[in-house]
Structure 1
Amino acid sequence: MGSCADNLQGVDLIVIRSGPTLKPATGRALIMSVTLLEIDQAMFSIDGDKAPGFDGFNAVFFKSQLYPQVNIASITLIPEISNPTYASVFRPIACCTIVYKIIVKILTHRMQDVIGEVINTAQPSFMPKRHIAENILLATDLIKGYIRKNISP
């Protein structure tokens, strides 16, 4: 599916250590044990009408039945063109179980509360309560200020 590399580029620890980090209490909150309340909130935030996982069960089943937890996914390759001849023209789709989706929802919810501590305010994309339009307005104001200062008589 890909090419093999002789070596992998490492993480630059100097850059990582000089960037923003979570406060110790925030880090501990991210790794604390999952509570029943978090599981309930995650479970009931999943639409019952969503497609079932590869195990054939949808969220409605899990909302009404007990099912042994499994953390597996089935990867299916969907061709992007008719008559594919190369692996690069396939798009992988992961079919996950509802249990996996619950885990992802719990982790996402936890991270939403703390992500602002490590993501700069100039990064609005995919951040709650931030809009890319704010950067457009800021850029416009900066350009107008530059023009007034340097070009206007």
Structure 2
Amino acid sequence: MEFYTKTHQEEKLILDRLRKWSRIEGSILQQKVSINWITLGDSNSKFFFTAVKVRNTRNKITMIHSTQGDLLTETTAIQNEITSFYRKLLGSSTYQLEVIDLRVVREGPRLKYEFCCLLMQVVTTTVDLALASINDSKAPELDVFNAVFFKKTWHIIKHDIYVVVLEFFDKVYIHKAVNCTTITLILKMENALYAKDYRPIAAALLCIS
């Protein structure tokens, strides 16, 4: 009798774990396809995996025209055309800047008192508050940890995050692996033909938000 009771408890524990990870898998798939959960009596995994595949295909740019009117179908050529287009819009970096006008600095508009907090030294408490203000479902991109992961594991990883963030404000330097942004192109019109027919939006990494 004791053996059967123990076996039943183990079976119940395994089923609870299975349900937990099934819910997590379903949540991930929902975020990927942005489709509401449907009730079909199962986990809907096949439906959501199909939706992910369809969405990835729809979101891929397979052809575009260059500024000269040439049709581009190769991935590398499309990337170079889009990159070149937005570089021309944004301009290029420079190693020399004009000297500031001290008269404007001294006599021109200044920060109001309520905005002076922006000049205060960044401390660990500032980082804690910044993370707490981020919605749990927010994530920098697909297939990466969202904010709730950082919040749940904060007691483990916070010291490493503190070092990176405080180093940035102290030395004005941030590691390249962290200082990156995902650029997404949004259609301005149906049947876009040129790079100018897309609108770029940027998603910065979570710990920099």
TM-score band, normalised by the shorter chain?
0.3 to 0.5
- Which structure has more RCO (C-alpha within 8 Å, separation ≥ 6)? 1
- Computing the radius of gyration from Cα coordinates, the structure with the larger value is 2
**TM-score, normalization: structure 2?**
0.36
